[in-house]
Amino acid sequence: MRVDDEYKGVLNTMTIMDLPTTASVKSSGEQALDAARAQLAGAARFLGLDDGLHRMLATPRRSLTVAVPVRREDGRMEVVQGYRVQHNVSRGPAKGGIRFHPATDLAEVTALAMWMTWKCALVGIPYGGAKGGVAVDPGSLTTRELERVTRRYVNEILPLIGPEKDIPAPDVGTDEQTMAWIMDTYSVNAGYSVPGVVTGKPMTLGGSLGRAGATSRGVQLATQMALGSDPAGKTVAVQGFGKVGALAAQYLADAGMTVVAVSDASGGVHRAAGLDVTALRAWARENGSVPGFPGGDPLTNDELLALDVDVLIPAALEGVLHAGNTPGVKARLIVEGANGPTTPEADLILADKGTTVVPDILANAGGVIVSYLEWVQNMQAYSWSAAEVEVRLADLMETAYGAVRDLSAERDISLRQAAHAIGVGRVAEAHGARGLYP
The residues annotated as belonging to the active site are 131
Please tell me the distance from the alpha carbon of residue 220 to that of residue 222, in angstroms, as a whole number: 5
Which amino acid is located at 429 in the chain? E
Please tell me the distance from the alpha carbon of residue 54 to that of residue 35, in angstroms, as a whole number: 15
Mark out the alpha helices in 299-385 (DSSP H runs).
301-305, 344-353, 360-363, 366-380
DSSP letter for each residue of 222-251: HHHHHH-S--TT-EEEEE--STTHHHHHHH
CB-based contact 296:253 (threshold 8 Å): no
Q: Which among 59, 58, 64 is positioned nearest to 85, based on CA atoms?
A: 64
Mark out the alpha helices in 89-231 (DSSP H runs).
106-122, 143-157, 176-190, 214-227
Number of H helices, E strands in the chain: 15, 12
Please tell me the distance from the alpha carbon of residue 223 to that of residue 240, in angstroms, as a whole number: 16
Phi and psi at residue 418, to the nearest 5°: -65, -45
Please tell me the distance from the alpha carbon of residue 198 to that of residue 336, in angstroms, as a whole number: 25
CB-based contact 88:427 (threshold 8 Å): yes
- 23-34: b (≥16 Cβ within 10 Å) or e: eeebebbbbbbb
